[in-house]
A and B are shown apart, each in its own frame.
Chain A
Amino acid sequence: MAMIGLWILILLGMIAVGAPLLAPHDPFAQELGNRLQPLWSEGHILGTDSLGRDLLSRLIYGSRITLYIVGLVALIAPITGLLVGTVAGYVGGWTDQVLMRITDIFLAFPRLVLALAFVAALGAGIENAVLAISLTAWPPYARIARAETLTIRSSDYISAIQLQGAGAMRIITKHIWPLCISSLIVRVTLDMAGIILAAAGLGFLGLGAQPPSPEWGAMISEGRRFILDHWWVATVPGMAIFTVSLAFNLLGDGLRDVLDPKDSEK
């Protein structure tokens, strides 16, 4: 099952890269005379939206935006979490307390509410959406990293390197990080689905990618008005989000089976 997830994602990547070649129409080209064409229409396999733009092309270009957002968050959140968590876990004492309370504060915010606040402060746009999502996504990674660090910290091999005079920086970066990475990777892949949905949610609320950008969430929002008679305008991007989320989940499950079976001494 994980392989299916992987293939879907590879496909997504290829579509995103090959967008200009694959899209039959310009995603921004409006054809008001051709509005709300159903599926399998002439020249528009997935129909058109309320401004006559080809849904397939918008979907294809939208994949780029999705990957952009997901990619950035997947980098920022775990790395921040890793830094905070490992330092807190290894150093302990006040540093640990302070860092963990900061983590708790960020954890307390519901994702979309924080995003709203951000956007209100900084204005709408993809970059701010990415920032907002990352800010709420990193705390769980900090917790995972800290938990792993606490377990690892008492191992003999850490004691041994301390006995060679190694400093905290070296121990954290060269000895602890390599062991935390696999659980973080698993968590990231499982989180992706949530990140995509958050991005789509922001887009839906008009806070993420701005029109006329073909971001999938924004497309659902635009199609909401026509859901009864022209259901495909909202459903098609919805299916895309569903498929990609599912793919990440499947991949994450598979990765966990491979990377996680308690890495405790084989």
Chain B
Amino acid sequence: MKSLICIVCPIGCHIEVDEENDYRVTGNKCPRGAVYGKKELTAPTRVVTSTIKISGGIHNRVPVKTSSDIPKELNFKCMDLINKLEVKSPVKMGDIVSKNIFDTGVDIIITRNM
């Protein structure tokens, strides 16, 4: 049994994962907690959010994120990739600035209009 705090949403359920019993999760308030508990112990993933350079916008940086969660160990590689990206205003929320990063099927997308 391993105790975890579910990070799927801000409620932060205190959950127990039974590694010997097909990663059965208890203490979760919603089904997403069960999925999280198993994944966190087998293949943890995170959404990475950051900013990239923009020219001609009202700010110097525009925020971006991975369109879905990626394996946790790719966090810093993902940051290296993000740090090389640059765009020109105007951009729209949802615009893809890098496709299929590290063959994960996940894109880097802009998260606001600017």
A binds B: no
Chain B residues engaging chain A, CB cutoff 8 angstroms:
none
